[in-house]
Amino acid sequence: MVRGEVFHLPPRRGARGHEQRGARYAVIVQADEFLELSTTLVAPTSASARPASFRPAITIGGRETRVLVEQTTVVDPRRLGRPAGRLDAGELRAVDEALGLILGL
pLDDT at 10 > cutoff 60: yes
Mean pLDDT to the nearest integer, 19-46: 88
**Domain that residue 46 falls in:** 5-103
HEC per residue, the chain: CCCCEEEEECCCCCCCCCCCCCCEEEEECCCHHHCCCCCEEEEEEECCCCCECCECEEEECCEEEEECHHHCEEECHHHCCCEEEECCHHHHHHHHHHHHHHHCC
Number of neighbours of residue 21 by Cβ within 10 angstroms: 12
pTM above 0.75, yes or no: yes
How many structural domains is the chain composed of?
Answer: 1
Q: Can you give the CATH number for the domain in which 25 is found?
A: 2.30.30.110
Q: How confident is the model at residue 14 (pLDDT cuts 50, 70, 90)?
A: low
**Where does residue 10 rank: exposed (0-12), middle (13-18), buried (19+ CB within 10 A)?**
middle
Q: What is the mean pLDDT of the chain?
A: 90
